[in-house]
Amino acid sequence: MLRGDLKVIAQRIAHKSRVLDLGCGDGSLIRWLEAEKQCTCYGVEISPDKVLQCMEKRVNVIQADIEEGLSIFDNNKFDVVILSQALQATLKTELVLKKTSELAKTVIVSIPNFGYWTHVLDLLLGKMPVNNRLPDQWYETPNLHFATIKDFESLLKNLNFCNVKAFYLQESRANSIRKIVFLPTLRCTTAIYQFSKAN
């Protein structure tokens, strides 16, 4: 079963697309796209355990750091590159976004919204948020950057990406999602952005 944001991402991908999933985790999205939309997919994942899970699903995966290993795809052109819940764990975020946009016609990125109201409340109470969306303690988290949706949208604007579309989601514990229109800055848990290379 696909995670909530992955369901929305899957809906944005056309049949028979060539897809590169960076930080592909256990390969669930790739497997779904291959089975349901006849896509040709490749994944990149740094975790040895998750690479093994991908291999068990018979997913095409390369073990690499997305900050250092994208040059192997320089001669390939994809229809879509996906960065789902992986960008916040990168050190050179701007460079990763620029490089990613050169590999495909369309980039889809999902990020957790650090401005979600319960996160803000936790900070007001003097502690870092820990919940089902941000499950790790501050000293164990793989996330290097915490951004609100406004922060991320400013970055996309500064980098001059084109055709930016945003989808604001609120996920529940039951893995259901709903789209948020009113006050997304405080009410969305996860944001998905679709964009293309800067002119």
Q: Distance (Å, rounded) from C-alpha 152 to C-alpha 12? A: 20
pLDDT recorded at residue 166: 95
- Strand order across the 177-179 sheet: 61-63, 40-45, 18-22, 78-84, 104-112, 190-196, 162-171, 177-179
Q: For the chain of 199 residues, list the mean pLDDT of each consecutive stretch of 10.
A: 87 96 94 96 94 94 85 84 86 87 93 83 76 66 74 92 93 76 89 89
SS3 12: coil
Range of the domain at 68: 4-196
pLDDT recorded at residue 118: 79
pLDDT recorded at residue 67: 82
Residue 129's CATH number: 3.40.50.150
Cα dihedral sign, 79-84-86-87 = positive
In the chain, how many domains are there? 1
pLDDT recorded at residue 79: 95
Hey, which bits of the chain come out as E strands? 18-22, 40-45, 61-63, 78-84, 104-112, 162-171, 177-179, 190-196
Q: Distance (Å, rounded) from C-alpha 61 to C-alpha 124? A: 42
- pTM for this prediction: 0.88
pLDDT recorded at residue 83: 94
